[in-house]
């Protein structure tokens, strides 16, 4: 049983790469619920009001996904619970959550992580992190067309997206739940370019072979 998790900023291409990996390796893909997320549009309208509710919603759905993934056969998740605290910490630092909400969130996350530790498989086998620049991030956000994500609709998102990218570097460096690999999402356009797609999938497969997972 091999469990792979992806990480990366909004628009990095996590869902696209998840599907490609699942197809290449014959695994099951687990996708983050976005289009049917009732809280996400509310958050973009009023982040100060809905930041806490959004993170609780995401934490709950990711907890269900990681439990299913760790209990099942080979699979890949386009985002996981390990990345969740990054978003809430950033929103708290931006003043979008009070200290009571921070404490409740951290306590809940700690309880969930303890439950995961009690499962037969405690951690994913590999984290696949997609690095992208702001320009690549914005291009993909624009292409997928969700109105509430567009900087043309809400110019304040420019700062939010830049801040998010800044938070990812220390998060990746500190991640220690499993081996990890970085994918250069600027150099390799695995979403649109077939040759780049093959290169990226070969990189991931080579890492898994090195680890003795395939």
Q: How far apart are CA 48 and CA 64, in angstroms?
A: 26
Our answer to whether residue 78 is catalytic in this structure is: yes
Q: In what order do the strands lie in the sheet with 180-184?
A: 28-30, 75-77, 3-7, 126-131, 180-184
User: Locate tokens 């900087």: which residue?
Assistant: 151
User: Active site residue: 35, 73, 78, 107, which one?
Assistant: 78
Between β-strands 126-131 and 75-77, what pairing exists: parallel, antiparallel or unpaired?
unpaired
Contact by Cβ (8 Å): 78, 32: yes
Identify whether the C-beta of residue 63 lies closer than 8 Å to the C-beta of residue 56.
no
Residues marked active site are found at 78
């Amino acid at each position: 049983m091999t469990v792979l998790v992806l990480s990366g900023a909004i628009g990095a291409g996590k869902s696209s790469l998840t599907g490609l990996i699942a197809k290449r390796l014959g695994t099951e893909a687990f996708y983050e619920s976005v289009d049917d997320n009732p809280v996400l549009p509310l958050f973009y309208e009023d982040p100060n009001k809905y930041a806490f509710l959004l993170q609780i919603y995401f934490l709950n759905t990711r907890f269900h996904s990681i439990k299913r993934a760790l209990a099942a056969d080979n699979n890949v998740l386009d985002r996981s619970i390990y990345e969740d605290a990054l978003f809430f910490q950033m929103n708290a630092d931006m003043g979008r959550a009070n200290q009571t909400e921070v404490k409740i969130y951290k306590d809940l996350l700690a309880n969930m992580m303890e439950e995961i530790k009690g499962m037969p498989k405690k951690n994913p086998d590999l984290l696949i992190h997609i690095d992208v620049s702001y320009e690549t991030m914005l291009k993909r956000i624009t292409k997928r067309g969700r109105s509430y994500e567009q900087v043309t609709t809400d110019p304040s998102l420019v700062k939010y997206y830049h801040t998010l990218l800044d938070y990812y570097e220390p998060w990746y460096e500190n991640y220690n739940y499993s081996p990890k690999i970085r994918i250069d999402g600027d150099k390799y356009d695995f979403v649109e370019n077939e040759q780049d797609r093959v290169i990226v999938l070969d990189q991931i497969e080579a890492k898994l072979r090195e680890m003795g997972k395939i």
